[in-house]
A and B are shown apart, each in its own frame.
Chain A
Amino acid sequence: MIKLGVPYSNMQATLDIVNTNEGEALAMAAGIELAGKEAYVYMQDDGYLQALNVMTTLLMPYGITLFINIKYREDLEHHIVANKLTRIICEYIAEKMPSI
């Protein structure tokens, strides 16, 4: 299991790869999966929104499944909208595309 992603406050895991942004992290994890190994991606919800393009144009159409650990942030004003949107998007994906 290769751990990669973008660190967030109080993160417990040690990353094998520290990515430069969340989209890159998801794309690199997709490469790891395509190569037949398991990837586990860490990011916080603000970063998940940054990575949505990779989610919708790479992971979903190409049928690449990953473990993504999204840390929810609700502690500061500038996190609130991203947190709400991330919850809505995750529910939508789970409902409409259960295989992802």
Chain B
Amino acid sequence: MRIHSRKDAINIIMENRTDEVLITSTGMISREVYQCKDRPRNFYMMGSMGQALAIGLGIAYARPDLRVVVISGDGAMLMSLGTLVLHKQLVEKGMKNLLHYILDNECHASTGGQPTCSRLIKFEAIGPAEYTSHIKVTNEKGDAPRIPLSPKEITKRFKDAIIC
């Protein structure tokens, strides 16, 4: 729960990555991850706000041999709180291969800083606490450029990297 800038939080998360599959939420999180450390095992979302965790759960469920990391934002996560509960249920049934980071700046930074209601809840109390890392971050807009990959290119290199 320590406060970092979003960029610093992403740098810290990316420093520790080895062969994990990474799903990043739409908006500045994907752009800043691309800028920090692009790799074929990164799946950058450019839409479907709130669904990063669901995609990660699909991968983690289908492939227990892979370790999956998901990075969501607070605005996206508030759109799909049910998915946090599904994650908790799957952990209860034995899922151990998905680690979920929620970077919480209490606002929609990429659309002008409109406030969310995330300060009122604890995400880690809704999802599985041991696999949910809720990190408060500052609300700077960020200046990372658009990702110069098409969605189909992202899919192709991602699948090539993880399907033998």
Contacts and interface: CB of A to CB of B under 8 A. Distances in A.
Contacts, number: 102
**Interface size range of chain A in the complex:** 20 to 34
A34 B45 contact: no
Interface in B42-87: 43, 45-48, 50-51, 54-63, 66, 80, 82-83, 85-86
B47 A37 contact: no
Contact of B54 (A31, A37, A62, A64): A31
Nearest to B58: A31
Contact of B51 (A27, A32, A37): A27
A20 B162 contact: no
B76 to A, nearest CB: 12
A63 B48 contact: no
A53 interface: yes
Contact of B58 (A20, A23, A30): A30
B80 to A, nearest CB: 6
A52 to B, nearest CB: 11
**Interface size range of chain B in the complex:** 20 to 34
A50 to B, nearest CB: 12
29 contacts: A2-B61, A2-B62, A20-B85, A23-B48, A24-B83, A25-B54, A27-B48, A27-B54, A27-B58, A28-B54, A29-B58, A30-B55, A31-B54, A31-B60, A32-B58, A32-B61, A33-B58, A34-B43, A34-B59, A34-B159, A34-B162, A35-B63, A36-B62, A36-B162, A37-B62, A54-B51, A57-B46, A57-B48, A62-B155
Interface of B: 23, 43, 45-48, 50-51, 54-63, 66, 80, 82-83, 85-86, 151-152, 154-155, 158-159, 162-163
